[in-house]
Amino acid sequence: MTNEAISEATLDLTNRAGKVVGSLTVSCLAGNLYWNDVVPQLLDTTSANETDPTAAPIQLLEDCEYRYEIVGVESVESLQPKEALNPDDQTWLTGRLRPGRRTGSLLVEVEVQDQRATAELEVRSRKLNYLQEYRWMLQRVADEATELLLQQFAASRLRTLQPSSGDSETLYAKFAFVAALLNEDSFEGSLQQILRRPDHAYLQFEESVHPSRGLRASRSLSRELVAPGRRVALPAGRTVGGGETIPERVSRVVHQETLDTIPNRFVLYALRSWRNLAEQVLDALGDVDSAAATRGRREATYVRERMERILSNPLFADVGPLDHFPSSNQVLQRRDGYRDVYRAFLQGEVASALTWEGGEDLFGAGQRDVATLYEYWTFLELARVIESIPGFQMDRRGLFKLSKDEMSLNLGQGRSTVLKGHGHMRGRRLDLKLWYNKEFFRPHGSWSGKMTPDCSLRITPVPAITSAPDTWLHFDAKYRVDSYKKFFESGDDHDEPLEVVSSRPMGDDLTKMHAYRDAIRRTAGAYVLYPGADEEALDRRQYHEILPGLGAFVMRPTESGALNVTVESAMRKFIVDVMDHIAAGGTSWERAEFWTQESYADRGEAIEFEDLLKRPAADTKVLLGYVKDDAHLAWIQRTNLYNMRADDERQGSIGLESPELGTDVVILYNDKWEAPYLLRPTGAFYVKTRTQMVELNYPRPGGQRYLCVELGPQIATTVSVDLERVLALTRSRTRQSWGSPFVVTWSRLVEPVSSRA
């Protein structure tokens, strides 16, 4: 029988003594039997053939809403958990049940007449395979801990790491690592492989037999036949080696198969250790009333019964005790089945000595917070993908804090963790920092407010290309989303589901990606990570280069706990392309970031933008040209030329590469005028000799060569260019340079808006 969708379920409310004091009825809202027309909102798994034996049989669905009613009691003095139960009135007997997004055990506690009664429900994730993926990801964390610990210690020294002290629920959190591994189908297969084809050996010994027994000819037998000792006569007419007698007894070598081998002793030891661990959990949680304790007792009972069932196999009947840790045994390290048990035992040893404060987010109150575990898992997988890039390495020791007799996992909500790495791309060293839960504060990290992406990767070229060399990529894990394709393509508010069986992404998810990219300084990209199908990565580039951009990547765990190989390859290629882009240096992204930093380096004030400007005020070049007298001005107006000295020996001369020849505006001034003249240059300039200047009737030429800028019409502007401001700028230089041509920006020339009267 399969899981059955129901509209209503009734559970007994029992006290500590197991007595039923009332009942709890949970029902779906009218017309809400299924979520998204596919996933049942209320399930009864009591009669199901395939179900999780550690979960309560009556199961709700996350983020759904139900009605509850307490029957059989006159009054309720208190009701827990308050965050999930919303009573209709002060009697608390009826109301709404909203489990929210916390998956796992939901223990409803009712206090009736000074006694506490409980009923347990299970809250399922909308992701249909979340239980499998939860175990796979938890196993990945245990794998990481085991690998790092074995880098620090030999396997034989693991027993020196003792379990740290803690309460019963902390013990359950540690046990959850082991239970997740032991409950895997693949691990069950490994045990069955051992039971079907156990390791065996042959014992060799000698026994004394009568010579009439069939014996294999050998040198030792030949020697015994002629050796002195008690002998018996052969039948008449028979001889052996010319003699008429043979020894009364001879020896032969016997080989006997045995299952009492070191690998089998180790398996027996591991199974007993896990059974004992389950019994310890049961003892510790025996008197604890909480959702975590209820789930812990059920899981520990299941593990203990499984271990007992396996230990009863005839294989272990004649297997002796383990007298030393077989860390170098080749069967345990290489043979199928045995190596899985060996590694599982090492992981169990790590788990027993592991303190994980962040585990409260996953196991506390009986939860199975798969969404939070997915965040941890994506962080570990990102580190592994980066480390798999040729020429790069990541130091993952930052994941754990290791003391003399305890190891702490440094992953948790509200806690920052950083892994450092480096490598080379295009001959340039790139320093890496991969953060989990890094906080970016105003004003240095974020210009708007506090931002905390799930994962943040900082890439820094060495030596630095610019004064602000860091480039940030941010990744946010969204476990409940099946597909972001239409989300990125349509940009609508998603009133309709993206797919029949998919979780609908919230509209603010994409907004958050924009916020990360736009608000966190030096951020080049922000990307969603989600456990969808094997669709291609979504890459939304703002321009033609890979950065800046937004997008989404599929990251779904497999049975091994690692990424799918195809998905891993796509993620690796993306990160390699980004690193190559950053290492190149001469990209449009780097250029834009450089000029952004330059533009905001000074605390300038707003400049009123004029129609005459073709570029921003700070980038508009203005030539300040001194006019000697009225005759000089008349010559300029008649020829549409403004002349500048070009003799090398004369003060204030310019050359063909001088910036004075490529300005956007020309301002002519004289300290005796009321206002300067504004003209737009045509872009042409001419080299004139003294003779040519005389032919143009230039008054009193004093040099041999001139560079003349061609002028267009006079510019009409509403912004007043103050003559005193022009004179102040020209006189800011040495006195000898006062009258020589001078290039300034429009922003330096025009008075700031905020300082005007």
Q: Find, among 712, 717, 656, the residue nearest to 681 by Cα.
A: 712
Domain(s) of CATH 3.10.590: residues in the chain:
617-755
Q: Does the pLDDT of residue 435 top 60, yes or no? A: yes
Q: Find, among 435, 440, 439, 437, the residue nearest to 412 by Cα.
A: 437
Distance (Å) of CA 746 to CA 262, 280, 741 = 86, 79, 16
Distance (Å) of CA 170 to CA 213, 437, 564, 743 = 66, 23, 32, 72
The stretch 442-465 carries a mean pLDDT of 88
CA distance 128 to 36: 13
CA distance 696 to 639: 8
Residues 484-536 pLDDT 10s: 665 565 544 444 433 433 444 445 677 788 888 888 888 999 999 988 877 77
| DSSP states along 623-676 | EEEE--SHHHHHHHHHHTEEEEE--TTSTT---TT-GGGS-SEEEEE-TTSSS-
Residue 471 has φ and ψ, to the nearest 5°, of -125, 130
Q: Tell me if residue 286 falls in helix, strand or coil.
A: coil
Does the domain spanning 617-755 belong to CATH 3.10.590? yes
CA distance 562 to 147: 14
Q: Does the pLDDT of residue 351 top 90, yes or no? A: no
Residues 25-42 pLDDT 10s: 999 999 889 988 888 999
CA distance 43 to 274: 32
CA distance 83 to 103: 14
Structure tokens that stand for 145 in this block:
């801990």
- Where do the H-state alpha helices sit in 416-539? 485-490, 507-519
The backbone region for 441, taken as left when phi is positive above 0, alpha when psi lies in -120 to 50, beta otherwise, is beta
Q: Does the pLDDT of residue 83 top 60, yes or no? A: yes
Instruction: Assign 580 a pLDDT band (cuts: 50, 70, 90).
Output: very high
Residues 621-679 pLDDT 10s: 999 999 999 999 999 999 999 999 999 888 889 999 999 999 999 999 999 998 999 99
> What size, in residues, is the chain?
757
pLDDT at 158: 54
CA distance 501 to 484: 13
Instruction: Assign 359 a pLDDT band (cuts: 50, 70, 90).
Output: low
Q: Does the pLDDT of residue 416 top 80, yes or no? A: yes
CA distance 525 to 471: 9
The stretch 697-708 carries a mean pLDDT of 93
Q: Find, among 520, 416, 437, the residue nearest to 471 by Cα.
A: 520
- The mean predicted confidence, pLDDT, of the chain is 83
Structure tokens that stand for 109 in this block:
């506690």
Q: Does the pLDDT of residue 146 top 60, yes or no? A: yes
| Angle CA 383–140–290, to nearest 5 | 125
Structure tokens that stand for 130 in this block:
């979340």
CA distance 661 to 681: 9
Contact 80, 106 (CB under 8 A): no
Higher pLDDT, 349 or 194: 194
Instruction: State the helix-helix crossing angle for 370-387 and 130-152, rounded to 10 degrees.
Output: 50
Structure tokens that stand for 546 in this block:
């890979």
| DSSP states along 164-199 | PP--HHHHHHHHHHHHHHHT-HHHHHHHHHHHHS--
CA distance 97 to 81: 10
Instruction: Assign 465 a pLDDT band (cuts: 50, 70, 90).
Output: low
Q: Does the pLDDT of residue 604 top 80, yes or no? A: no
Instruction: Assign 229 a pLDDT band (cuts: 50, 70, 90).
Output: confident
pTM: 0.71
| Angle CA 549–554–558, to nearest 5 | 155
Q: Find, among 352, 315, 365, the residue nearest to 337 by Cα.
A: 315
Q: Does the pLDDT of residue 179 top 90, yes or no? A: no
Name the amino acid, one letter, at 719: V
For residue 606, what are the contacts with CB-CB under 8 A and spacing of at least 6?
752, 753, 754
Instruction: State the helix-helix crossing angle for 565-584 and 370-387, rounded to 10 degrees.
Output: 60
Q: Does the pLDDT of residue 199 top 70, yes or no? A: yes
The stretch 60-70 carries a mean pLDDT of 95
Structure tokens that stand for 461 in this block:
């070229």
pLDDT at 587: 79
Residues 524-558 pLDDT 10s: 999 999 888 777 777 777 777 888 888 888 898 98
pLDDT at 422: 96
How do strand 641-645 and strand 665-669 relate by DSSP bridges? unpaired
The string over 158-180, giving b where at least 16 C-beta atoms fall within 10 Å of a residue's C-beta and e elsewhere, is beebebbeeebbbbbbbbbbbbb
pLDDT at 364: 62
Q: 335 pairs with which residues across the strands?
A: none
Contact 182, 347 (CB under 8 A): no
How do strand 455-462 and strand 471-477 relate by DSSP bridges? antiparallel
Distance (Å) of CA 721 to CA 17, 54, 608, 712, 714 = 92, 81, 12, 19, 14
Higher pLDDT, 480 or 238: 480
Residues 375-388 pLDDT 10s: 999 999 999 999 99
List, in sequence order, every beta strand (DSSP E) within 536-610: 538-541, 549-554
Name the amino acid, one letter, at 610: E
pLDDT at 494: 40
